[in-house]
């Protein structure tokens, strides 16, 4: 963090005021002063491999790298003169030695840094050469690498290490033979799309996009990713009513594999059928309940809320309701309707506790920021969960395993340990002091020595974050857990992030007065029901997918951000039905300015919402929710006796990059839905790899092929839901459940009730 004292420097005759701790390049950009770079990437630590950013500093001999040199008060800096120009020109000549002249077919042509700076520094011929080498193109799955085009800027390696944390890309040094290697090619990480995005040339590109279009032929449509709840900035790049690729403002923002490659899920071929429309209107008139999924914009949620108020039906969205109840309880401790944490503070933390979430799967953008904290600040990362996760072992410094179902006890133990020396109200102090630590430790299987080790690891550190997730929201004791977690924000100063479930669960939880269960005749909006409105094209009436509509989402950073139409849609929208039922809005986005201000939204027209990053990376996308004060009730209940989960257990968890039936529909994110378990799980359930089993969760039937994953341990298996279509929205219970299953020959072999 740049929190130093004020300084004043002079750059090219312009007086620039800033703070000590910032580099010359950072201050130059703050003041719109151009310094050329090739390897610099704002969102990672300075790479300092290109030397294009050299400047002269008065009183200092030689040229200085402005990307890594901290500015000092009173410095006088020159960014351009004949000597600096010649130095940069010579660097560009070296970059161009034997660089293939294939701009006409290169995917980067038209947006290539090498092209731009070759022209900027008038490099129009090659005065010398070097013996060229055979460097074949390598197909790494989602991305392809052409070493002949690579300029070894190392941006991709830094993103792979510092941002996404997959650590797949490394530099293989060898002078002129140096190259980038993929040390985890078998993983086919979709997160390498982020590494490809920052490539300044055409060396690392999307395999699917390769040779399909010139960059200047594509129309960039700004939007927000609707998949995981991160609402990350993105552009749909479109030509002839087809999305060719998704890009982002990679200098400042990040995009996970689902956002970058999960774009082709539009509801194509929808048409308006007046008879079907009338049936839809009549279905709402007679509905006893309306159930809907998280793939719903803030505006659509408000339409459903207004229809509930008009007709009195129950309004149900299971994941959003669980989150709503959790946050309402959380607010009773903090007195604020939102959690206090944010992603930037998370990335700057020196210690991070992850509790109740398989974070690498649940929220890649949050995981990226945890990785940043680990790589930039050597943060302690404590992962608390019933299952270890091999994909984050590279950043986790302490794994604390607790028993399935014991989250309340685990939260109580955590609060007791971390608030031992904090000043608390007497009633709260008494509640924590009265905890039977020995019993909670035994039941949760968290050793007291583990908590002591956690406490010691935080000594002499500052800036702590706590990330909690969906395991907690659907727990039978979710509201008590919420209060225990909130204590750490209120009294221990933790930067707490309560990661919302995938989609727009946070926005829905703020906009709607949700009910717990459906009853009677039910209408479903992207959820299976008696009458179904579906953006998948398989319901009673078609609806637009998220890339076919305007509206807003509410992100994990508590920001309301705009989505824009990328593809055409020919059918009806929810607003048409609402108008037929008595509402009066010409467009769905007419509801943007009337989103509930009492929940932190602002009365801003959709078309007035900003959507950009400035030159130094400040985010101007939509607006931040305004924190609302709520009444407090700072009291805790006694910890209930823990329910035992003996035998085999299944855990609802989708593969990385899968979040819904819409990512499942995406061509580039094809995953096979399988029940993944360890050899120990196979032994307990008497299953062999390849066995097909059937089981039910919340009345939803699953049929799964079992596969052994050698990286897993214990008796918990991963059960995905992304392939379940609209029935996935019917799931409402705790993410862990005891497995009662049968093989397809109906032989009951694994009933854990026996």
How far is Cα 489 from Cα 634, in angstroms, rounded to an integer?
13
Mean pLDDT over residues 529-535, rounded? 98
30: left (phi over 0), alpha (psi -120 to 50) or beta: alpha
Instruction: List, as one string, the DSSP characters of 119-138.
Output: HHTT--S------------E
How far is Cα 223 from Cα 238, in angstroms, rounded to an integer?
12
Check residue 3 and give its pLDDT. 59
Token pair of 490 as six digits:
């209120």
- Please report, for the chain, how many H helices and E strands are present, in that order: 22, 35
Among 124-138, 170-184, 195-209, 293-307, the least confident range: 124-138
- Helix, strand, coil shares, percent, the chain, to 5: 30, 20, 50
Taking only the tens place, the pLDDT of each residue in 673-698 is: 999 999 999 999 999 999 999 999 99
Report strand pairing: 495-498 vs 464-468: parallel
Residue 211, SS3 per DSSP: coil
Check residue 753 and give its pLDDT. 41
Percent of residues, the chain, with pLDDT higher than 70: 98
Mean pLDDT over residues 300-324, rounded? 98
Residue 317, SS3 per DSSP: coil
Q: Which residues are paired to 351 by β-bridges?
A: 380, 464
Taking only the tens place, the pLDDT of each residue in 618-666 is: 999 999 999 999 999 999 999 998 788 889 999 999 999 999 999 999 9
Instruction: Inform me whether the pLDDT recorded for 2 exceeds 80.
Output: no
Percent of residues, the chain, with pLDDT higher than 90: 93
Taking only the tens place, the pLDDT of each residue in 337-384 is: 999 999 999 999 999 999 999 999 999 999 999 999 999 999 999 999
Provide the 8-state DSSP code for 295.
-
The chain-wide mean pLDDT, for the chain, equals 95
Check residue 742 and give its pLDDT. 85
Taking only the tens place, the pLDDT of each residue in 392-435 is: 999 999 999 999 999 999 999 999 999 999 999 999 999 999 99
Check residue 745 and give its pLDDT. 55
Instruction: Inform me whether the pLDDT recorded for 754 exceeds 60.
Output: no
Token pair of 143 as six digits:
């991305």
Instruction: Set out the domains of the chain in order of their start, with CATH numbers.
Output: 6-80 (3.10.20.740), 128-261 (3.30.70.20), 274-321+507-624 (no CATH), 332-498 (3.40.228.10), 649-743 (2.40.40.20)
Mean pLDDT over residues 494-511, rounded? 97
Check residue 126 and give its pLDDT. 83
Among 277-281, 382-386, 565-569, 635-639, the least confident range: 635-639
């Amino acid at each position: 963090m740049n929190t130093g004292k004020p300084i004043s420097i002079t750059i090219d005759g312009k007086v620039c005021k800033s703070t000590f701790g910032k580099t010359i390049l950072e201050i130059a950009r703050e003041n719109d002063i151009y310094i050329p770079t090739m390897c610099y990437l704002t969102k990672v630590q300075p790479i300092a491999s290109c030397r294009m950013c050299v400047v002269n500093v008065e009183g200092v001999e030689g040229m200085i790298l402005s990307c890594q040199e901290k500015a000092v008060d009173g410095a006088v800096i020159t960014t351009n003169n004949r000597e600096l120009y010649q130095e940069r020109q010579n660097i560009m000549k070296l970059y161009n030695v034997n660089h293939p002249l294939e701009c006409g077919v290169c995917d980067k042509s038209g947006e290539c840094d090498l092209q731009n700076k070759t022209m900027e520094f008038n490099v129009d011929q090659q005065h010398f050469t070097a013996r060229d080498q055979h460097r074949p193109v390598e197909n790494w799955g989602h991305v392809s690498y052409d070493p002949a085009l690579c300029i070894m800027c190392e941006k991709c390696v830094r993103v792979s290490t510092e941002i996404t944390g997959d650590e797949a890309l490394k530099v293989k040094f060898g002078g002129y033979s140096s190259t980038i290697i993929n040390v985890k090619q078998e993983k086919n990480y979709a997160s390498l799309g982020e590494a490809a995005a920052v490539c300044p040339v055409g060396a690392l590109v999307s395999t699917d996009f390769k040779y399909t279009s010139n960059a200047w032929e594509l129309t960039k449509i700004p939007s927000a990713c609707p998949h995981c709840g991160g609402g990350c900035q993105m552009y749909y790049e479109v030509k002839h009513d087809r999305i060719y690729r998704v890009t982002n403002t990679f200098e400042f923002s990040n995009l996970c594999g689902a956002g970058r490659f999960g774009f082709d899920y539009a509801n194509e071929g929808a048409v308006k059928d007046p008879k079907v429309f009338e049936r839809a209107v009549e279905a709402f008139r007679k509905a006893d309940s309306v159930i809907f999924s998280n793939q719903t914009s803030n505006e659509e949620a408000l339409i459903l809320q207004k229809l509930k108020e008009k007709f009195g039906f129950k309004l149900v969205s299971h994941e959003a309701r669980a989150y709503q109840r959790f946050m309402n309880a959380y607010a009773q401790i903090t007195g604020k309707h939102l959690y206090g944490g944010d992603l930037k503070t998370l990335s700057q933390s020196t210690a991070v506790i992850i509790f109740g979430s398989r974070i690498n799967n649940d929220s890649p953008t949050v995981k990226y920021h945890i990785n940043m904290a680990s790589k930039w600040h050597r943060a302690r990362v404590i992962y608390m969960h019933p299952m270890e996760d091999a994909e984050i072992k590279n950043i986790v410094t302490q794994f604390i395993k607790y028993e399935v179902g014991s989250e309340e006890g685990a939260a109580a133990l955590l609060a007791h340990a971390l608030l031992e020396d904090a000043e608390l109200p007497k009633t709260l102090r008494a509640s924590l002091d009265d905890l039977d630590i020995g019993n909670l430790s035994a039941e949760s299987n968290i050793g007291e020595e583990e908590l002591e080790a956690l406490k010691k690891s935080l000594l002499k550190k500052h800036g702590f974050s706590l990330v909690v997730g969906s395991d907690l929201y659907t727990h039978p004791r979710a509201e008590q857990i919420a209060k225990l977690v909130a204590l750490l924000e209120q009294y221990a100063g933790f930067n707490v992030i309560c990661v919302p479930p995938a989609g727009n669960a946070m926005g829905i939880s703020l906009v709607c007065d949700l009910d717990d269960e459906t009853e009677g005749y039910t209408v479903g909006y992207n959820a299976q029901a008696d009458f179904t409105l579906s953006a998948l094209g398989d319901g009673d009436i078609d609806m637009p997918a998220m890339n076919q509509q305007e509206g807003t989402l509410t992100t994990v950073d508590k920001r309301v951000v705009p989505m824009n139409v990328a593809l055409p849609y020919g059918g009806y929208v929810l607003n048409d039905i609402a108008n037929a039922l008595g509402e009066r809005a010409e467009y769905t986005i007419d509801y943007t300015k009337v989103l509930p201000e009492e929940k932190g939204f602002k009365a801003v027209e959709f078309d007035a919402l900003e959507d950009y990053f400035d030159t130094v990376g400040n985010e101007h996308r939509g607006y931040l929710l305004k924190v609302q004060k709520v009444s407090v009730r700072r009291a805790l209940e006694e910890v209930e006796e823990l329910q035992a989960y003996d035998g085999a257990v299944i855990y609802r968890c989708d593969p990385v990059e899968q979040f819904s039936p819409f990512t499942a529909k995406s061509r580039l994110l094809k995953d096979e839905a399988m029940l993944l378990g360890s050899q120990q799980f196979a032994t307990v359930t008497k299953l062999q790899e390849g066995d097909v089993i059937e089981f039910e969760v919340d009345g939803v039937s699953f049929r799964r092929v079992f596969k052994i994953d050698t990286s897993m341990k214990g008796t918990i298996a991963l059960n995905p839901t992304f392939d379940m279509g609209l029935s996935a929205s019917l799931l409402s219970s705790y993410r862990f459940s005891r497995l009662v299953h049968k093989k397809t020959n109906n032989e009951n072999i694994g009933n854990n009730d026996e």
